[in-house]
Amino acid sequence: MDMSRTAGSTRASDSADNTDSANTAARSKVRYAILLLIFVITTLNYADRATLSITGSAMRSAFNLDAIRMGYIFSAFSWAYVLSQLPAGWLLDRFGARRVYAASIFSWSLFTLLQSSIGLLGSAGAAVTGLFVLRFAMGAAESPAFPANAKVVASWFPTNERGTASAIFNAAQYFAAVVFTPLMAWLTHAFGWHSVYVVMGVIGLLLALTWLKVMKNPADHPRVSRAELDYIEQGGGLVSGARRTASGDAPQTGGWALLRQLLSNRMLLGVYLAQYCINVLTYFFLTWFPIYLVQARGMTILHAGLVASLPAICGFLGGVLGGVLSDGLIRRGSSLTVARKVPIVGGMLLSTCIIGCNYVSTDWVVVALMSLAFFGKGIGALGWAVVADTSPKQALGLSGAIFNMFGNAAGIVTPIVIGYLVARSGSFNGALVFVGANALVTVISYLVIVKDIERVELRGV
């Protein structure tokens, strides 16, 4: 009797194992294709933001721009980007990522293309005003991009894959520098700064059409198997995306009440503050870093474009490693809090080595320290995974927009602060201390302000 029961249990276990194996074999991999697409789009997104940093030296000469005025032009993008975050989050929650993101990509690419023509405005003053306005418009157009990425990842990936997926699309900022910085530097050198905006604008218009054709929610995608859909949903993925499947899923609180709930949550506030500090490093790299190499280190534009790709490669590798490490800790049984905080804290401590560039004179040592700093920053840049983990499921777009608004306030402050520091001191030493100090504040924020990392439940919904 016992032997019969044991044999039956063994057969049942074998049957379950065979069923699991069959389900795994039948599971499609469409989520990886979606991740590849948002990675490519995010790469272009960051490349378009960095166009001015590559063409900046040539444009400063063409339009007689001093460091302070250049700092304000750099910040134009972020003024609009930050101010547009809340409307962008509302649009994403209302209309979904597919339509809003398509309009975003098309619009920012058109404004990039138009920047090639500012020299036709006649006077240098008119050209500078036109550049500021177009950079401002581009910032508004790009505002839905990262909240949309977070929304897509929350829909398409289970929790134990979300850190890696978020790290990969976030690492696109470094991949953009690896691929597009040398390309844009060569275009500037060979054909003039105008050509950069033409090429980047046309690529973006083509990507907008691609996004519309390919993107759907997991529950609606014709190529997603039942096994993949179940795997995503059982792992915590929100497979219906922005669509509300029942009236009870919609927040019953008003918009301002919802906003107050998000902004009064201690954990989320700590995450938002940390993202601001992390983005100080990002915007130094996107705006002043190539100019630092040209002016402080005496490199040519072409040489600076090539050298700038080395820290970017390290940042990309660190970004992917941070996500893999975090998800690996979850699979090994660590809590979500430990799995997210360990890479963030360790990586940002490593980033403080950027200050060491003030104490060395050899170019290769400077590049090595910058590369190490951006490798650490890449490891620690898990903020979007944390947002996908913690945002209320009814307000993913809004929460991601607030997070992005805080983070990209650094895009307003950083270029201007560095512009003043460089103009008044004649060197970048103070600027590098400013950047390194913000990396340290990120560490403090996650250790002191952010407690347990968990999904926020809205009151009154």
Q: From first to last of its 461 residues, what are the pLDDT tens digits of the chain? A: 444 444 444 444 444 444 444 455 567 788 899 899 999 999 999 888 878 878 877 777 777 767 777 777 877 887 888 888 888 888 887 888 888 999 999 999 999 999 888 777 667 677 778 888 999 999 999 989 988 888 888 888 887 888 888 888 877 877 887 788 788 888 888 888 888 999 999 999 999 999 988 888 787 788 888 888 888 888 777 666 544 434 444 444 456 777 788 888 888 999 999 999 999 988 888 777 777 777 777 676 666 666 767 888 888 889 889 988 998 998 898 898 999 999 999 999 999 999 998 898 887 888 889 899 989 998 998 888 888 788 887 777 778 888 888 888 887 888 888 888 888 888 888 889 999 999 999 999 999 999 888 887 776 55
Pair 46, 173: CB distance under 8 Å: yes
DSSP H helix total and E strand total for the chain: 21, 0
Cα–Cα distance for residue pair 152/238, rounded to 1 Å? 9
Predicted confidence at residue 219, as pLDDT, reads: 79
Residues in CB range of 190: below 8 A, 6 or more apart: none
Cα–Cα distance for residue pair 118/396, rounded to 1 Å? 38
Helix, strand, or coil (residue 395): helix
Helix, strand, or coil (residue 263): helix
Which residue in the block uniquely carries the two structure tokens 């019969």? 4
Instruction: Name the residue ranges covered by the structural domains of the chain.
Output: 30-237+257-449
Pair 174, 374: CB distance under 8 Å: yes
Pair 47, 309: CB distance under 8 Å: no
Minimal CA–CA distance to 305: which of 318, 292, 319? 292
Which residue in the block uniquely carries the two structure tokens 């069923």? 19
Classify domain 30-237+257-449 at the CATH class level.
mainly alpha
Which residue in the block uniquely carries the two structure tokens 């620690």? 380
Write the DSSP assignment of 144-169 as a string of letters: THHHHHHHHHHHHS-HHHHHHHHHHH
Cα–Cα distance for residue pair 270/281, rounded to 1 Å? 18
Conformational region of residue 217, where left means phi above 0, alpha means psi within -120 to 50, and beta covers everything else? beta
Residue 402 host element (H or E): helix 396-425
Residue 318 host element (H or E): helix 301-331
30-49 vs 51-63: helix crossing angle, rounded to 10: 20
Predicted confidence at residue 43, as pLDDT, reads: 92
